[in-house]
Amino acid sequence: MDRGIGRPKVFGAGVSLGMFAGILIGSLLTLWLGEATLGLLQRAFGKVFGRRERIHFELLLQ
């Protein structure tokens, strides 16, 4: 009843293709944007998601 390539093979091929595409797109994006722009984006995401450089001890005392 098993015709063609099996589902595990298709899944493995899809995972491999997705990993390759992710690495390729990430590398191209890094080359295109540059390190300075990526640092700026990391700082912006850190501010948006609440990652701060220092601890607010006043909030801990409440």
Residue range 6-34, pLDDT digits in tens: 788 889 999 999 999 999 999 988 888 78
8 Å CB contact between 38 and 30? yes
Task: Decide if 1 is inside a domain.
Answer: no
Tokens 């995401």 correspond to 45
- Residue range(s) defining the domain that contains residue 56: 7-60
Domain count, the chain: 1
Tokens 């220092």 correspond to 54
Higher pLDDT, 41 or 27: 27
Q: What is the identity of the amino acid at 3?
A: R
Q: How much is the CA Rg of the chain, to the nearest whole Å?
A: 22
Entry pTM: 0.47
Task: Decide if 50 is inside a domain.
Answer: yes
Question: How far is Cα 39 from Cα 1, in angstroms, rounded to an integer?
Answer: 54
Picking from 43, 61, 40, 62, the residue whose alpha carbon sits closest to that of residue 53 is 43
Task: Decide if 54 is inside a domain.
Answer: yes
Task: Decide if 27 is inside a domain.
Answer: yes
